[in-house]
Structure 1
Amino acid sequence: MLTQQDIERVLGEYVDQFIPAMLRREYHLILVKGGPEYAHLSEQSHFAHIVNGVFGLVQLLKFLIDRGIAVPGLDETALRKALALYTIHDLHKDNQVTLQGKSSFSIPLERLREEYERLGLDEFVQVDEHLMRAANVHKRSSKHGDLLTSADPQAGRLWLWVRIADTLASVETPEEAVASLRGYLADLGPVFAPKSPPGKYALYYHQIKDVRGVLTQLVHQAVAQRLEQECGFFPLLYFATGTLYAGPAQVKVPDHERFIQGVIDGVLGALTQYASDDGAKGAALTGLRKGRYDFEDFVYSFADVSTLLEIARERAGGRGSKGKDVVSDLDKLPGKQGVPEGWDNVETVARHLEMDLDQPDAFLDHWDRARYYLLYVDHVVGRLNPESPLEWLLGAFPVPPEAADHLRGVADAWGRGGFGKYVVPVAYHFLKGPAFADRPAEALPPEQVMDELHRHTLEQLEQLDTRAGREGVVAQLGFRRDLTDYLSEHLYLSLAPEVHLSDDSLAAYSRPKKKGHSGKMCSLCNRQSAFVQDLRTGILDDFGRVFSNRVLPAQEAPAKNRPWCPICHLEFIFRKLRGLGLPGSASYGSSYRIYLYVLPTFSFTPEHLRLFQPLLDHFQNVTNLPVRDYGQDAPGAPRIWLERRALDPYWVEDLM
């Protein structure tokens, strides 16, 4: 009986031995799909075809073992033979192989044995030459006698495994996979019988006919997770546009609306999964509103509180004006409307709030920094739990009761204008509070004081429910509502083929172009959406008023940044979070960008990622090519090329 451990061990041995062997035999330079002879197919090398089939077959075997499906003759020896036979099943397509006739089964047996041994497959498992030639025949024929001539009693079953692997490697869409595999799987056993009485298992797929990039990948993952949980599906093959599954033949169709919302929960939930990464911090900085001590709403969709306040702590760390900022805030309060009598000047304000302004310069600098930091805290708390930021501050920090009562009386006046300057006494009493009972704040370095304030704030925020507030902020961005429309139109489930077309955008798209953008048409993807907003250049990493096919040619679009829909907004947020955006040290205004994307034409599996990860990692590197010339010591690329007919060696080394 074959086990998962057997599969992993045999596959590991196969990859270690025969991936290098196929490359030595230059299988990657031989086309078996596409080219002049197969012009209707996308190109696929001999190497890629073998890898796809082996990994696809392994996925199918994992499903059979996972569900306890017994297949006659399936053991480790059969697995080894199937992999070995499949590895040479397309030898007849090699132009260097001389056939004895016109048919694919006229390959000389000696040539098959020669190739088998050159690859080292004879050390992996022994099979006879007739079985090797049978593997090269894609359809049964009355003129083909190798299966009968072979001495292997499982010859017919092994031929079937090769055909299944070949089909898994050849299909380009999940829809094609279902149609092509159905007959072969039925030959495996009655559990896959497609007709009455139906078998126990069947093939399904989901498909998204609009490929975006990172967002599409996350939608695929969320859909697969829902189908695995709700329907018991097992993913077999992954495509750029969807996933092929095996699952129960009798399955309850999930409610369409509930399923869509579950997928959206998974996609939006992925926003916060990257909150601890550097990408989240970099993306949050693009939404920083320095003059208002807060962040734009879209930042709250992915950055957690600790990330936002870490930014605030870093920005506050370099400040300190010996109390000028706090004294200015205190000085402006008496003149505000609504301030009670007796608050006539800075001294009376300080007395009511139990503060002593006669402090050393070191303390005043700490006070300035703490004030600056707490202004951000006040805004973050107000956005995520808007009931009463002041009450939260008074409960989280050691403000004396009488001073707290006085502060409540002037809070509205002091907070008028958008800034909660009532944080000034909160900062003071923290610096004079229990956190510095052993050693006064003025005796400590700024970093230690700010670290203590930051730590205390985060501890207090752990007790605050920010989930509802975050959801409210994100709802205003239209992410959920636009994703609902988008998935209802583009997500197709074979078990529930229900698609809802969105409003026809042809009228808006075909409207004569002007210098400005249309109100509801995304300037990037041309989708019509009720939730379009002005794009954010820090997230897009490009200019906001150029590069659009929605306006007449001009130096820049007038008035404001061009619009984008929430779907494009999400895509570029995810790219930023995944480190695929412009580096923080670069400027989109002084550089041109070339993005490289890898989309598989055929299918792939988790094993593909493990095998090709070292190669794919290089595609995530951001390189730069110096264009401007700074003289002999720092020449630009054009000068190097004109003088030496060469490229910058450091850039080439980094790129390669």
Structure 2
Amino acid sequence: MDLFKFAEQLLTNFATLKYQGTLFADAIAKSYKYNKEHYAVDRNLVDQTMWQHIRSGIEAFLSLYAQLETYHLPFRVVELKIALVAFVLHDLHKVQELHKKVGSEYDRALEELEELGEKLCIGLDIKTPPAAFLRVAAVSSLSNKLGDFGLLSGEYRWTHIYFWVKLMDKLASITSIAECQKGRTLYNLSHLLKQLLPPKLMQAMRIEFHQTQEIRGMITTLLHNGLATIMKEWGFYPWLRFGDGTLYITFRSQELPAKETVIEQLIQMFQQAMDSKVDEVNEEDLFDRATFRCQTLAFALYSDPEDFSVLFYRIFRKQSSRSNQFPEDKKDRFDAKRLRAYKVDHLAELYAKLGMNSSPSEDFREKWAFTAKYFAALQRLLQRLYKVSSGEAIQMIAEYLGLMVTDILEIVPKSMQSSSRRFDAAIWLSYRYLLSARVDGYEVLQVPIEDIYLQVRQMATTFLQDKVTAARCKEIAESEMKLHEELQNYFAEEVTLSWERKRRLNLLQSSELLKPKKRSQKKVCNICNRQILSGVDLVIKAPMIQDDVQVFSNRLLPKEKSVSALHWCGVCAFEYSLRKIYKMGSPGEYDVSRQIHLFAVPSYQLTDQSLVELYEDLDDDFTSLNLHKSKNLPTWQMPFIEENVEVLREHLKTHFRRYHEYLQMVLAERGKLPDTGDVMNAGLPGNIMLFIFHCYSNSATLVRTREEAWMKALTVALSLHTIYGFRIVVTEKAFLPLSEIKDIRYAVHLDAPPYKVAKLLGTVEERGDTDFIVPVENAKELIYRLAYLWEIHQTVHPLDYSKPTDKNISTILHQLEVHPLSGAYFFKRCSMEKNFTSPSFIRSCKQIDEYKGGTMVSLAQKIALATLALYKPSTKQDGRAHRYENLYRIIIKGIKEGRRDKESLCGAVHKRLERLKGQQLGYVPSPIDTDKVMELVNLVYDEFFSGVCNESIMKLNQKENQLADGIYFAIHLERQKEFMGKDENQD
């Protein structure tokens, strides 16, 4: 078994390794919550589980080993395998259960370590390492407790193996490139490598890094990935990738380029990345149908005449249902006001003025609609290419076709010719073209419509041959976006290189900063506050950002409903262009959909190998969550409610993959996704990852709610954290409102979640922070709580396929907030409607009550048991609630009537029991035990009325039904337990 397969199997064994019933992998390696009082800014301590810590160290070691293999060093592989096993167990003392048994963190029994080592080495081609070495491997190299070395034989180089363990621990403990900027991190790393590698190799060793603190999304990911590729070309291997940069290593003396050279290479790589995705870009993102203008992005991507002719062909092939009524398909196109501008009273009169047939056939009108819009797009394109007027552009088309257009330009009003949303001249010229055109010798009316489409497309390709050039397209893109200059400035400002640390800051002019705020500041980006270069008019486009203006920006904004008052810099415009290129836009209408952005940072590091695995897991497009029972897919919450935690990570990975395959199948069958649904887009894997969760809809009657979107996004965030160890920021803002990556300290950060979702995180004291965060200690508990809530929701509110939304999760969250026994509440209402409730639903209700119930849960259980000691009610569905709560309600009724004498209350209970004997709706033991009756009365009166309600009738009225729900639930569970016991005895 080679070292890489050995490490893979070792990690698999580690994932299921238990210590005193607790999964070792789920223990906490590091916690910001408990260490922030001793937090050192330069160390950047953040949350990390044992699984993340061990996996990080092993992957960092394997990344280094892959490089060292090329030098054919005389490694003894068995020693490296021993080091890997010892590293996995080196933090055993951090398992909390152990602290109760030992005097110090290193005081562990050798028998115990030997047993764990044997479990860990099952299926591996290695003997269990000596327990003495497993114990000494956990001791710091600066400690004096290294006496276990004396117990080891001379079979292996134990000190050498020990330093490999220390190296892995050191690598797994580096949190960010920020640590490498100063301090002893790189020095300590070099010192450990000197203990392990030949001196000749160490003489040529060089460790460098790049760093950037900002998180934008796609630009950030491409920036890190691009720099890694450039450094590889210069002979530096990207050893460890962190959220804020990458650590590189080489064992050959190499000179590195100046920062300006690196930036130019980086810009070229950005262009290559864009070019590689041209065929996958949605054409709707490259064209504005309202104005018939190509988006600036089209000129950045396209450089060939056929690119534009095919773009227009694909855009206008999608005809509207009213195309057979063109040009009257829009009521206001030739209304009375427009006709007066033409100096005519009726459209037929205008047709006659232009020498046209006033009643063309529907077939001709459809062909006309396509051709007219195509000509309008060509006209706008020529205006951009040659900077000419609309009239001059249409003349160029007419001259090429040999058609008369002068009379048309004289008839069409000047105001309509200059309007960006009118294309009248193109309408009339296209009519003449269709009358004169021939397809294989046949007239337009004699050929299928698709042949006309292809004829127009071919004509446009030929027409644009000498007009569209790569140089001209680049010039237009650069003049409108100034992308090259913007990226130069941005990279010079944001990127720090270890061999050239100077940065050029983007300083705003003081006159612009002091300018009174009225509508907008056109020279300051409303997203990132960078300066907007002069000559660039980049108004934010609502369809691009697909969000509400007040949600989108992280600045104080003017009170505008429209985004037209806002401006963005070239870098921000480029960021959202990249999101379109990488298909991260919402499939729904942005005004009825919700988008939640998840910015993920590795905890702590990624290597090239782990990056490959991420590419395989997150290969392309989208996935989602299945939260409802289905024949095709298991529910997301299944392993949580079944307590199958040992397969949790694999289940979640499989779940996302299978849902991805399901959505691809739907897409292949229907040609599109459902009109309403949920999808998650994953950006490029890298140092920083952007995920966007879309609760989308194309129907105004199915508006998606914030609670639904946030609950699902939180579910996704915790799933990604569980699988990959990401630290994740969940926000509605498309641009992350953080200045530095080191501010992402906890497992999950939520940016202004809805109130009901925020309440799930617990109190400030429980979280240990005033922000809405999920510390690593609370992550497991919260993901289970979400699973129980989704299981309750899918039972109480089954999916309505005619209205496929989960907005009723809000009612579940509401009851969780207002009802101390919300699990019992849901169980009671569901069991009264259905005769069967699934074990998973019952378990979920019980767990939710234990989470929230406290005193009321215990009290309900006591009253239920006291009731059953006097009366065992029938479990028939009809009247079940009345029977289960009968005795409790009698006592409450007596208290409300003012009977505070317990003897009187006992009498009322006794009378009810006597009447119940003859009703055959349950079993009443005979004779009735008066002591047990008094016990029940004491529970209701003393513990509930006096204790919980403080003898207040008003509070009693408020809480009576809440406790009744709990009693109903507890009695039903006890009765079911009795029946199961009888069945087992009979068997």
TM-score for the superposition, normalised by structure 2:
0.53
Contact 2:539/2:566, CA 8 A, preserved across alignment = yes
Q: CA deviation at 1:242?
A: 0.8
Aligned 1:180-259 pairs, distance under 5 A: 180-190=188-198, 199-229=203-233, 231-247=234-250, 250-259=253-262
Contact 2:17/2:120, CA 8 A, preserved across alignment = yes
Distance in 1 of aligned mates of 2:168 and 2:411:
72
* 5+ long unaligned stretches in structure 2: 40-44, 343-349, 619-651, 658-679, 681-690, 697-703, 709-796, 817-821, 831-840, 842-987
Distance in 2 of aligned mates of 1:388 and 1:252:
54
Question: Residues 551, 134 of structure 1: CA spacing in aligned structure 2 closer, same or farther, 3 A cutoff?
Answer: closer
Contact 1:214/1:574, CA 8 A, preserved across alignment = yes
Aligned 1:82-97 pairs, distance under 5 A: 82-97=83-98
Q: Out of 26, 30, 34, which is 2:27 matched to? A: 30
Contact 1:204/1:494, CA 8 A, preserved across alignment = yes
Contact 1:234/1:247, CA 8 A, preserved across alignment = yes
Contact 1:533/1:565, CA 8 A, preserved across alignment = yes
Q: CA deviation at 1:94?
A: 1.9
Q: CA deviation at 1:493?
A: 1.0
Q: CA deviation at 1:627?
A: 7.4
1:387-430 deviation line (CA, Å, top 9, x unaligned): 999999999x9x9xx98556598999899836694797678668
Equivalent residue number for residue 52 of structure 1: 56
Contact 1:284/1:308, CA 8 A, preserved across alignment = no
1:162-217 deviation line (CA, Å, top 9, x unaligned): 222212211012353634422112222246776xxxx2221111111222222111
Q: CA deviation at 1:154?
A: 2.8
Equivalent residue number for residue 874 of structure 2: none
The alignment partner of 1:564 has SS state of coil
Equivalent residue number for residue 119 of structure 1: 120
Aligned 1:218-617 pairs, distance under 5 A: 218-229=222-233, 231-247=234-250, 250-277=253-280, 280-284=282-286, 288-290=288-290, 292-302=291-301, 305=308, 306-307=310-311, 309-315=313-319, 319-321=323-325, 362-363=363-364, 365-380=366-381, 383=384, 404=401, 417=417, 421=425, 435-437=439-441, 441-447=444-450, 449-450=452-453, 453-454=456-457, 466-475=469-478, 476-503=480-507, 508-509=512-513, 511=514, 514-530=517-533, 531=536, 533-544=538-549, 550-551=555-556, 555-556=559-560, 560-581=564-585, 583-588=586-591, 590=592, 593-609=595-611, 610=613, 613=618, 615=653
Contact 1:21/1:120, CA 8 A, preserved across alignment = no
Equivalent residue number for residue 186 of structure 2: 178
Distance in 1 of aligned mates of 2:132 and 2:540:
64
Instruction: Compute the RMSD of aligned alpha carbons.
Output: 4.8
Question: Residues 640, 275 of structure 1: CA spacing in aligned structure 2 closer, same or farther, 3 A cutoff?
Answer: same
Distance in 2 of aligned mates of 1:163 and 1:246:
19
* 5+ long unaligned stretches in structure 1: 337-344
Equivalent residue number for residue 623 of structure 1: 695
Question: Residues 461, 55 of structure 1: CA spacing in aligned structure 2 closer, same or farther, 3 A cutoff?
Answer: farther
Contact 1:316/1:373, CA 8 A, preserved across alignment = no
Contact 2:60/2:607, CA 8 A, preserved across alignment = yes
Contact 2:383/2:389, CA 8 A, preserved across alignment = yes
Partner AA of 1:496 in structure 2: E
Contact 1:100/1:108, CA 8 A, preserved across alignment = no
Equivalent residue number for residue 136 of structure 1: 138
Q: CA deviation at 1:494?
A: 0.9
The alignment partner of 1:556 has SS state of coil
Question: Residues 155, 211 of structure 1: CA spacing in aligned structure 2 closer, same or farther, 3 A cutoff?
Answer: same
Question: Residues 434, 9 of structure 1: CA spacing in aligned structure 2 closer, same or farther, 3 A cutoff?
Answer: farther
Equivalent residue number for residue 340 of structure 1: none
Distance in 1 of aligned mates of 2:147 and 2:137:
12
Q: CA deviation at 1:98?
A: 5.9
Partner AA of 2:191 in structure 1: G
Distance in 1 of aligned mates of 2:707 and 2:101:
62
Larger radius of gyration: 2
1:513-558 deviation line (CA, Å, top 9, x unaligned): 6333333222222223335732222222223477656557x64289
Question: Residues 37, 551 of structure 1: CA spacing in aligned structure 2 closer, same or farther, 3 A cutoff?
Answer: closer
Distance in 2 of aligned mates of 1:412 and 1:150:
98
Q: Which moved more, 1:384-393 or 1:458-467?
A: 384-393
Q: CA deviation at 1:244?
A: 1.0
Distance in 2 of aligned mates of 1:22 and 1:506:
62
Question: Residues 324, 521 of structure 1: CA spacing in aligned structure 2 closer, same or farther, 3 A cutoff?
Answer: closer
Distance in 2 of aligned mates of 1:150 and 1:430:
93
Q: Out of 149, 152, 169, which is 1:150 matched to? A: 152
Q: Which moved more, 1:106-115 or 1:172-181?
A: 172-181
Contact 2:14/2:25, CA 8 A, preserved across alignment = no
Distance in 1 of aligned mates of 2:544 and 2:276:
18
Partner AA of 1:111 in structure 2: E
Question: Residues 485, 641 of structure 1: CA spacing in aligned structure 2 closer, same or farther, 3 A cutoff?
Answer: closer
Partner AA of 2:136 in structure 1: A
Distance in 1 of aligned mates of 2:434 and 2:235:
55
Distance in 2 of aligned mates of 1:462 and 1:238:
46
Partner AA of 1:31 in structure 2: I
1:221-257 deviation line (CA, Å, top 9, x unaligned): 222222222x111111111111111125532231332
The alignment partner of 2:492 has SS state of helix
Distance in 2 of aligned mates of 1:410 and 1:82:
87
Contact 2:293/2:381, CA 8 A, preserved across alignment = yes
Contact 1:22/1:119, CA 8 A, preserved across alignment = no
1:159 paired to 2:162: yes
- Residue-pair matches, total: 606
Contact 2:7/2:84, CA 8 A, preserved across alignment = no
Contact 1:516/1:557, CA 8 A, preserved across alignment = no
Q: Which moved more, 1:559-568 or 1:13-22?
A: 13-22
1:444-469 deviation line (CA, Å, top 9, x unaligned): 44345425644775688789754222
Contact 1:544/1:561, CA 8 A, preserved across alignment = no
Distance in 2 of aligned mates of 1:236 and 1:273:
26
Distance in 2 of aligned mates of 1:431 and 1:200:
77
1:295-332 deviation line (CA, Å, top 9, x unaligned): 3434533576344542233257962447889xx9xxx9
Contact 2:57/2:169, CA 8 A, preserved across alignment = yes
Partner AA of 2:34 in structure 1: P
The alignment partner of 2:604 has SS state of coil
1:583-637 deviation line (CA, Å, top 9, x unaligned): 242223x4554322222242122444526756587654423644799x9987855
Question: Residues 170, 639 of structure 1: CA spacing in aligned structure 2 closer, same or farther, 3 A cutoff?
Answer: closer
Distance in 2 of aligned mates of 1:595 and 1:93:
34
Distance in 1 of aligned mates of 2:468 and 2:163:
58
1:136-163 deviation line (CA, Å, top 9, x unaligned): 1231555413345333423222222222
Partner AA of 1:276 in structure 2: D
Q: Which moved more, 1:183-192 or 1:519-528?
A: 183-192
Partner AA of 2:543 in structure 1: G
Distance in 2 of aligned mates of 1:247 and 1:628:
50
